[in-house]
Amino acid sequence: MKKIISRESIGFFTISLTVFLVGADFPPPAGFWIIGLILLVFTLIQARFLGWLVPRIRRERTFRQTMLFYLTSALVLAAPFFVPIDTLTQRFRWIILSLIAGFLFGTFVWLVHWLMMTRYQNQWQEK
């Protein structure tokens, strides 16, 4: 299980950083490393969360905790982008888009792990 979580974390960090780089100016601004650092911290937190989630996903109701984690994370990651916006309407749009992205990503992560645990339950059980 640790091998899969570490691979997921590396993939998440790489894909997310690539998405941020594609959305940034070229070359990226001088402060772009801060986004990378925040993303790295989030990746480590997510790996810990997945370590908690995977063994429990078939035994407990974990969808709400997963949504809370990813919705909060989406707001924290998006905050540097919507805080400096002057108008309330534009800030509200950023918040809504961040929550939608967090919901979609959290649902995807939960569903993938639920399906994997359903299919490979005997191989992944805690010893």
DSSP letters spanning 41-94: HHHHHHHHHHHHHHHHTTTS--HHHHHHHHHHHHHHHHHHHHTT--SHHHHHHH
107, pLDDT greater than 70: yes
* Residue 1 token pair: 């299980």
Confidence label for 121 from pLDDT (cuts 50, 70 and 90): low
How far apart are alpha carbons 50 and 39 in whole angstroms? 16
Tens of pLDDT, residue by residue over 22-74, are: 777 778 777 778 878 888 888 888 888 888 887 777 777 888 888 998 898 88
Residue, of 121 and 10, whose pLDDT is higher = 10
